[in-house]
């Protein structure tokens, strides 16, 4: 199994309704492919982790990279995993900046959510912790 973490910036044309549409479709698709994961939207950034069969993860990431609803996609890393981190969620989502701020501050000492500065493990751990706050 593969796990992948990336971050990106939301396009200005995307409103909350569009995010909702995106999530509904993503959960439906991920369920079919047994893909699990977690996504945070905060401070105009997306941070997402997806995990599943290597082929499915590569296919999904190709689609995600082409999606016009975000840009400057930065792959933070991709790793082989034995066990899923987000097995409860086909795509968990959180955008409550109160939780995020506090967690980021404790984890990194930085107040702003700036996921481009995170490394793979750091980002994955933050997403993992946030998955318990949904």
| Interface pick for ligand FMN out of 7, 45, 70, 123 (rule CB under 6 A) | 70
Tell me if 106 sits within 8 A of 43, measured CB to CB.
Answer: no
Q: Is 91 a binder of ligand FMN (CB under 6 A)?
A: yes
Q: Which stretch binds ligand FMN (CB under 6 A): 60-68, 92-100, 104-112, 124-132?
A: 60-68
Residues 6 or more apart whose Cβ sits within 8 Å of residue 53? 1, 2, 33, 34
User: In 3D, which of 101, 123, 96 has the Cα closest to residue 111?
Assistant: 101
Q: Which stretch binds ligand FMN (CB under 6 A): 64-72, 80-88, 93-101, 115-123?
A: 64-72
Count of residues engaged in binding ligand FMN, rule: CB under 6 A: 16
How much helix, strand and coil, in percent to the nearest 5, is found in the chain?
40, 30, 30
Residues that bind ligand FMN (CB under 6 A): 22, 25-26, 29-30, 37, 46, 48, 50, 60, 63-64, 67, 69-70, 91
């Amino acid at each position: 199994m593969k796990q992948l973490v990336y971050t990106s910036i939301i396009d200005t044309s995307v409103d909350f309704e569009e995010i909702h549409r995106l999530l509904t479709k993503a959960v439906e698709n991920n369920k079919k492919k047994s893909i699990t994961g977690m996504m945070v939207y905060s401070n105009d950034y997306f941070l997402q982790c997806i995990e599943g069969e290597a082929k499915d993860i590569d296919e999904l990431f190709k689609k995600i990279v082409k999606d016009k609803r975000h840009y400057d996609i930065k792959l933070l890393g991709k790793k082989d995993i034995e066990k899923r981190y987000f097995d409860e969620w086909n795509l968990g989502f959180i955008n409550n900046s109160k939780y995020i701020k506090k967690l980021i501050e404790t984890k990194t000492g930085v107040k702003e959510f700036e996921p481009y500065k995170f490394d793979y493990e750091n980002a994955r751990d933050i997403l993992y912790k946030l998955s318990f706050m949904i």
